[in-house]
Amino acid sequence: MKVSLKWLSEYVAIKLTPQELAERLTMAGIEVQGVQTVGGWEKMLVGEVIEVNPHPDADRLKLATVNLGTQQLTVVCGAPNIAVGQRVPFARVGAQLIDGHTGEMLTLKPAKIRGILSEGMVCSEKELGISDSHEGIMVLPSEAPVGVPLSEYLGDTIFDLDVTPNRPDCLCLMGIAREVAALTGEEVHLPEIDYQEEEQSIDSLISVDITAPELCPRYCASLVTGIAISSSPVWLQQRLKSYGMRPINNVVDITNYVMLEYGQPLHAFNYHKLGGHKIIVRRAKNGETITTLDEVGRTLNKDILVIADGEKPVAIAGIMGGLESEVTDETTAILLESANFDQATIRRGARHFQLPSEASVRFEKRLSRELPLVALKRATRLFHELAHGKVVEGVVDVYPGKVKPEEILISNEEVKRLSGLDLSIDEIVRVLTSLGFECQRTNIPSQALVFSPYWRSDINCAADLVEEVIRIIGYDKIPTTMLSSTLPEREPGPRLELREKIREIMVGLGFQEVLTYSLTSLERLRKLSIELEHEALKVANPMTREQEYLRPNLRAGLLAALASNQKLEPDGIRLFEIGKVFLPRGDELPQEREMLCALLSGPKSSLSWRGEKGEFDFFDAKGVTENLLRGLGLIAEFKPGSDQNLSPAESAEIISDGDRIGVLGILHPRVTQTFEIDGAVCLIEIDIEKLFIKPSGQKRYTPIYRFPAVSRDIALIVDEQTSYRQVESIIKSFPLVTEVTLFDFYTGEQIPQGKKSFAIRIVYQSPEHTLIDEEVNQIQQEMLDKLSQELGGSLRS
Amino acid sequence: MTLPTKAVLQQLEQIQKQASEELEKINDPKELQLWKVRYLGRKSRLTQVLRSLATLPLEERRKVGVRGNEVKNILESSLAEREKILEEARIASSLKYKKLDVTLPGQPLSVGRLHPITQTLEEICDIFKGMGFQVIEGPDVEWDYYNFEALNIPQEHPARDMFATLWVDAEVEGGKARLLRTHTSPVQIRLMEEKRPPIRVVVPGRCYRYEATDATHESMFYQVEGLAIDKNITMADLKGTLFEFCRCLFGEERKIRFRCDYFPFVEPGAEVAIECLACHGAGCRVCNYTGWVEILGAGMVHPDVLRRGGIDPQVYSGFAFGMGVERMPMLRYGIDDIRLFYGNDLRFLKQF
């Protein structure tokens, strides 16, 4: 919200510099986001137009003589609205102003216009940089002092305030004035609200009935007759304009002015257009219609609150008035409405009609129910003062929603308990009083009973009062201490520890971590499988199609990341992500499972003069998986897999303790293609949730043997169908075998068809003695016999 | 002195002379070995000479024996010296041969890195762990109740405007609608429902907003929530904790501002800002010309929220805070576009 300090100073004395004031307000909870200075005009004065004559050589130009107090100057002027008697901003030669056509800054020089020398200029708002208006010269209020520097008269500082949703009372000048007063120890000067009343009573002229009191806690109205509709005074128009409001006529302008002053939206009806001279505040009937001020016909329903006369709706309450009862130039009597409406109803209604208005945005906040009468009186006074209206005696005040003001106990112990600030109850009472709270001391010396001022609907408990006290005292006065209370019991966090460990290992293995969006597109899911659509939870109001489904796997995002990087990255890519996937469970919250997904693709080593050649393949991925699981202390085995996104020839399931914990393999060429990836991609996917419950995740120390090891190499020929795992498990079943390493694998010409050859190094070691050859020979012979019997294996000759 | 004795002594002189002359000329380790066999081996002339002493009279045998051993020692030490010379020459020549072009590039190794957000999260959590906070987590998809209602943000509350929400259930009324959590604060309620004070936790996690993305807005972002509840916890403790956190993360010198702010689930509420890292408080585009950058919201847990969590606000008090995570690396590294974090361009990620 914007606040003019010049206007604000009518309600409270401002003795601080704008910067100091901005700082105080910000610290106290009303953030000043911007400070704009209006003015700084050099060589510009308030002038008075004393003569206007036609230009001898140009129809559209005029010669205007302007009185500047000490001298008079005649200048050429093209503005259509210039007239004798006006007070105007006058720029002398040398003044800096904005070119009305180009928008650029220029320095005013003496100029000959159609043969006549012009030494100065009467300026438009645009030329002064006040607004974009350039249709004519700016006309100043008639009381503007002639000859005074323009900066002095028109200069101002505008604060741009960020008012938090709990402080609707600060969405107006009075609210800010109260804050400034409390923060600087000044008094608030209340605007005049008194006026003279006519004899006739309002009750005989209008009746107000609220049939939906739950939606309209209060409805106040006054009646003003004998109004002369005209434009409002220039000063008032200027103020509205500085708030971005278009001046319309004195009646509408006054309602807007009071809204800016007090934050209470008001609406003026043409009294003579109110059928039956009745106001009924009711829910609309389904299908009922109204044409609103913007000349749009609108269909209503029972969730919309309307102001109706004896026959039909005349306004959508709190949102927009009806066209028929609009105040026009012919209007002579107005019924002024100042009411309080249910905020939710206004909020929904404004959204329903897509009509966020100055009024509705205010009603959506929690406005005070005491405010309507105050604002009504202020506006009525201005009607009397500025529009020469005659005010009918009395006001209508229907107040079904009156609530007893709440009383809250505050004590210096409570202030200290929450804030850590030790303040006396006197100090607390002083601060609260400065904010308009009414404080009564109780018979307990450290306590006071507090009643909120009518404008503060946000104060409901002692904690609210504590904030009020310390924000005025200053948050910078709060001491800084460290938590000194008991430490909570330490609880194990296996999930986080495991995740951290996995990250550490993956990074150690050369993988780059990525984080991809939790939300993904249908298109991307379909690249993996047409069925995934039904396995993913959909967002009801997605921002874009790209982010519509909660990911049911990590693959899709990671593959997309790989694809987008592949074109830019000459070397091999290793990516991984640890994150949640979301699996729907009916109407319940989805299951959120933590997964690991890793991808390897491209050359194994970076391009280098001594680099290793070759691309990542299945066994690189398997090596990564083995290293990872070993690092976690898990024992795993691998079985041929059948994941539909992986190549059937090169995929495996990862099994640990009999449970499938993940998959690995080469991406199916079809998937590689749909993701537009070049070359083979190795994928590893592990369900981290399953790792938490694995008993093998416990590391144990095994002693290091002191006695020397003996190693033997064998070349074993077996049938092609025989898996290495079968061979290895037979070898490992023998005593003293401590290590088995496959160091070559061969199929081809040099061995019989249908056979393959494993070259295996077997290490033997005894914890108790130095092995002798005979001992090893004997074990190995038994081993070869068993390999031969069970697998038909033979040594390669 | 007998004649044979003289002859033996002459022989010894001759052996020494001949051996020394030969040794001088040897440059090859293999020849050196042959020389050793020839002059010091079991079958060498010197050994033979020394063995032949037995035939001499006792008196002269001693004399010759002493001389014989002298010659042997001289030859052995000459040999050692020659070996040393040859070894040094070998090393010198091998080093000459091995001289590298040290300007050739080194072997590139593939280095993995953590995502900058992960690094930041770890850093933040570590600071709070040091202050006795434990790390816990909560679900990304939440009930309206936990995300809003229990946090004093009922339907139609104006504060809902602060949280543009992505809904899973658009039509469900009341707290039973599912949504993507807009902040990590729902974990406060979940935790209070389960645990009794003392509570001291931080909660990292993903949050979501219905928001068009641009350089400073993301529809997905990380937050770290903090919650401490016990008897006698005050705003001063909150201030101390957060100031300590800022000092750890942004350094001792960085100015910190602690001001009043509003969040529906805390009262009194506060906001912490630090002096802008880009302009050091002078005012620039990064700080919107204010000199300050907001980094977190905080406050004393609202009594209604405590009550909903089953904790008596008359007995216990506590503070909560929540911070956006992306902001920290953006400020620290001068990253000007938040979208880079989840765009996963390796050229970006490799910089951290």
Residues 126-155 of A with CB under 8 A from B: none
Cβ atoms of B53 and B61 closer than 8 Å: yes
Structure tokens at A77: 């002027």
Q: In Å, how far are A46, A548, A581 from A556, measured between CA atoms?
A: 69, 14, 11
Convert the pLDDT of each residue in A509-546 to its tens digit: 999 999 999 999 999 999 998 888 888 999 999 999 99
Q: What is the pLDDT of residue A152?
A: 84
Residues A426 and A293 in one domain: no
Comparing CB atoms, the residue among A365, A485, A580 nearest residue B231 is: A485
A158 in B contact zone (CB under 8 Å): no
Query: What per-residue confidence (pLDDT) applies to B63?
Result: 82
Enumerate residues 6+ apart whose C-beta is below 8 A from B328.
B120, B124, B249, B295
Query: From CA A600, how far away is CA A527, in angstroms rounded?
Result: 19
Residue A694: predicted pLDDT: 64
Per the domain annotation, does A704 fall within a domain?
Answer: no
Residue with tokens 């503070």: B319
* Cβ within 8 Å, pair A416-B131: no
Query: How far is B303 from B312, CA to CA, in rounded Å?
Result: 8
List pLDDT tens digits, range A179-198: 999 999 999 999 999 999 99
Among A639, A672, A697, identify where a domain stops.
A697
Closest CA in chain B for residue A467: B268
Whole-number pLDDT of residue A708: 92
Using the Cβ of A612 and the Cβ atoms of chain B, whether some distance falls under 8 Å is answered with no
In 3D, which of A397, A358, A400, A390 has the Cα closest to residue A271?
A390
How many degrees, rounded to 5, is the angle at CA A415 between CA A413 and CA A420?
A: 95
- Residue A190 located in a structural domain: no
Residue A653: both structure tokens together: 């399931």
- Put simply, the answer to whether B259 touches A493 (Cβ < 8 Å) is no
A 28-47 near B (Cβ less than 8 A): 28-29, 31, 33-34
Of residues A242 and A193, more confidence is placed in A193
Phi and psi, residue A686, nearest 5°: -130, 135
| Predicted local confidence at residue A505, as pLDDT | 96
Same domain, A205 and A266: yes
Report yes or no: A285 at the B interface, CB cutoff 8 Å: no
Q: Which residues of A376-408 are buried (b: 16+ CB within 10 A; e: fewer)?
A: bbbbbbbbbebbebbbbbebbebbebeeeeeeb
> If you average pLDDT over residues A666-679, what whole number do you get?
94
Pairwise CA distance, residues A272 & A331, whole Å: 8
User: What one-character DSSP code corresponds to residue B54?
Assistant: G
A382 plus A438 within the same structural domain = no
Instruction: Give the chain A residue nearest B132 (alpha carbons).
Output: A487
β-bridge pairing A31-38 and A2-4: unpaired
Question: What is the per-residue pLDDT for A658?
Answer: 87
Nearest-neighbour CA in chain B from A481: distance (Å): 5
The alpha helices in A246-394, defined as continuous H runs, are: 250-262, 343-352, 358-363, 371-386
Phi-psi region of A665 (alpha: psi -120 to 50; beta: other; left: phi over 0): left
Residues A681 and A566 grouped into a single domain: yes
Q: Are residues A219 and A119 in the same domain?
A: no
CATH for A136: 2.40.50.140
Mean pLDDT of A272-297: 93
**Position A270 pLDDT exceeds 90:** yes
| Mean pLDDT over each residue of chain A, to the nearest integer | 92
Asked whether residue A483 is domain-assigned, the answer is: no
- What pLDDT score was predicted for residue A697? 55
Answer for the pair A27, A474: CB distance below 8 angstroms, yes or no.
yes
* Of A453, A457, A456, A460, the residue nearest A437 (C-alpha): A453
Instruction: Give chain A's end-to-end CA distance (angstroms, integer).
Output: 92
Q: Is the domain of A50 the same as that of A114?
A: yes
Residue A72 neighbours by CB distance under 10 Å: 13
Dist. CA A229–CA A222, nearest whole Å: 17
Nearest to B104 among A481, A568, A609 (CB): A609
Same domain, A612 and A650: yes
Alpha carbons A11 and A613: distance in angstroms, whole number: 81
Least Cα distance to A679 among A598, A606, A616, A607 occurs for A616
Same domain, A751 and A773: yes
**Residue B99 touches chain A, beta carbons under 8 Å:** no
Check A606 against B159: CB less than 8 A apart.
no
Looking at the partner chain, which of A419, A493, A580 has a beta carbon nearest the beta carbon of B268? A419
Percent of chain A at pLDDT > 90 equals 71
B260:A491 CB<8 A: no
With 0-12 / 13-18 / 19 or more C-beta atoms within 10 angstroms meaning exposed / middle / buried, residue B124 is buried
Q: Cis link prior to A669 (omega < 30° from 0)? A: no
- Rounded to whole angstroms, how far apart are CA atoms A499 and B125? 14
Token look-up 């049938």 returns A719
Residue ranges of the alpha helices (H) in A596-684? 618-631, 669-674
The answer to whether residue A488 neighbours chain B at the CB level (below 8 Å) is yes
**Would A488 be classed as within a structural domain?**
no
Q: Are strands A218-225 and A334-340 parallel, antiparallel or unpaired?
A: antiparallel
Query: Mapping DSSP to helix (H, G, I), strand (E, B) and coil, where does residue A522 land?
Result: helix
d(CA A380, CA A390): 9
Residue A348 forms contact with B (CB below 8 Å): yes
Give the model confidence (pLDDT) of A575-590 as tens digits. Answer: 999 999 999 999 999 9
Contacts of A168 in chain B (CB under 8 A): 158
Segment-wise mean pLDDT, segments of 10 residues, chain B, 352 residues = 75 88 88 89 84 79 84 90 89 79 84 95 96 95 95 84 87 82 96 94 96 90 97 96 95 93 96 91 86 94 96 97 95 92 93 92
Residues A175/A178/A184/A190 CA torsion (nearest 10 deg): 120
For residue A696, pLDDT beyond 60: no
Cα A212 to chain centroid, rounded = 35
A485 is a domain residue: no
- Say which CATH number the domain at A736 has: 3.30.70.380
- The residue range of the domain holding A762 is 710-795
CB–CB contact B110 A572 (8 Å)? yes
pLDDT score recorded for residue A695: 55
Structural domain includes residue A531: yes
Relative orientation angle of helices A173-184 and A250-262, to the nearest 10 degrees: 30
- CB-closest option in B228, B262, B347 to A164: B262
Lowest mean pLDDT among A102-111, A426-435, B49-58: B49-58
Look at residue B219 in the predicted model and tell me its pLDDT.
94
Tokens at B97, concatenated: 């041969």
A513 assigned to some structural domain: yes
Minimal Cα distance from A610: which residue of B?
A: B107
pTM comes to: 0.84
Whole-number Å distance between alpha carbons of A743 and A759? 6
8 A C-beta contact, residue A193 and residue A391: no
A295 and A417 in one domain?
A: no
Q: Which residues contact A504 (CB under 8 A, 6 or more apart)?
A: none
Torsion A548-A549-A550-A551 (CA) sign: negative
pLDDT for A544 equals 92
Copy the structure tokens of residue A784: 């070869």
Domain count, chain A: 6
CB of B325 closer than 8 Å to CB of B331: no
**CA-based nearest residue to A401, from A315, A335, A460, A342:** A342
Say which of A491, A517, A606 has its CB closest to residue B220. A517
Shared domain for A148 and A170, answered yes or no, is no
Q: Distance between the two ends of chain B, CA-based, in angstroms?
A: 92
Q: Which residue of A has its CA nearest to B131?
A: A483
| Helical residues (DSSP H) of A303-411, grouped into ranges | 343-352, 358-363, 371-386
Using an 8 Å CB-CB cutoff, list chain A residues near B294. none
Worst-scoring range by mean pLDDT, A53-62, A224-233, B298-307? A53-62
Among A485, A568, A597, A615, the strongest candidate for a mutation testing the B interface, having the largest count of B CBs within 10 A, is A485
Asked whether the bond before A356 is cis by omega within 30 degrees of 0, the reply is no
B108 interfacial to chain A (CB closer than 8 Å): yes
- H-state helical runs in B292-326: 303-308
Maximum Cα–Cα distance for chain B, whole Å? 133
Q: Which of A30, A401, A458 is nearest to A219 (CA)?
A: A401
How far does CA A87 lie from the centroid of its chain?
A: 46
pLDDT tens per residue, range A731-775: 999 999 999 999 999 988 888 889 999 999 999 999 999 999 999
Render pLDDT for A332-371 as a digit per residue (tens, 0 to 9): 999 999 999 999 899 999 999 998 888 998 998 888 999 9
Q: Do A514 and B113 touch (CB under 8 A)?
A: no
Both A689 and A592 in one domain: the answer is: yes
Nearest residue of chain A to residue B180 (CA atoms) = A539
Distance from the Cα of B202 to chain A's closest Cα (Å) equals 12
Q: What is the CA radius of gyration of chain B?
A: 43
Same domain, A693 and A717: no
Interface contact flag, B260 A493, Cβ < 8 Å: no
Distance from CA of B96 to the nearest CA of A (A): 22
Query: In this complex, do A366 and B158 lie within 8 Å of one another by their Cβ atoms?
Result: yes
- In-domain check, residue A657: yes
CA proximity to A606, closest of A598, A614, A594: A614
- Tell me the sheet residues that pair with A603: A615
Single-letter amino acid, residue A374: V
- Residue A484: which pLDDT band, with cuts at 50, 70 and 90? confident
Which tokens in the block code for residue A318? 């709190």
